[in-house]
Structure 1
């Protein structure tokens, strides 16, 4: 089995996930990158501004800002990030990683 390149602790509901005996669970590579991007987006505050926003121009501007933010991660291939609004509170993030191919998750 290949060595993992990126490792992190698994975070669920803003807390470290533990196994049955209280040992922190880890994640690696693609899931680790996705988790880091989710946290980066959340910490930017831009997602909060989008929830419930009806002005199409404001939505488009903030989605572009979020896509640019995702592409600042060196593990993401430049020009591949896209974020689309599924409904008023759900956004689909897509990007291609340098080492692990396609990445997709909901916020």
Structure 2
């Protein structure tokens, strides 16, 4: 069955290529996760959150991120959750989960400079 959504796989800001040198395609659930990761990265909000000391402003930006993800038509509104986890005084991680309309849950770990899908 053909994929409903399909995109080129991006790894480390570059196209991922197969052994034959052709671009790797990423279908459906993984495509949605990749699109959301790129949307979050391009918004710049994670960088603002990490640099912000005011807890209220940090929480406001996390809500903005959640609402951005919920606005994607492939995501069930109200299912996005972002958990902020401090792994040290200098390092914070953000776990994002959301329910897609057709393909189940997506979940990935995001940092201020990157995002990686959970396996």
Range into which the TM-score falls when normalised by the shorter chain? over 0.9
Aligned residue for 1:51, secondary structure, equals helix
Displacement after TM superposition at 1:63 (Å): 0.2
Relative to structure 1, is the Cα distance of residues 32 and 51 closer, same or farther in structure 2, using a 3 angstrom cutoff? Answer: same
1:102 aligns with 2:105: yes
How big is each residue's C-alpha offset from its partner over 1:55-100, in whole Å with a ceiling of 9 and x where there is no partner? 2111100000000000110000001111111224311111000001
Moved over 4 A (4+): none
| 1:44 and 2:8 matched | no
Q: Give TM-score scaled by structure 1 length.
A: 0.93
What residue ranges of structure 2 are gaps of 5+ in the alignment?
Answer: 111-119
Partner of 2:62: 63
TM-score normalized by the length of structure 2? 0.84
Unaligned stretches of 5+ in structure 1?
Answer: none
- The farther-off stretch of 43-52 and 5-14 is 43-52
Q: Kindly tell me the number of residue pairs found equivalent between the two proteins.
A: 106
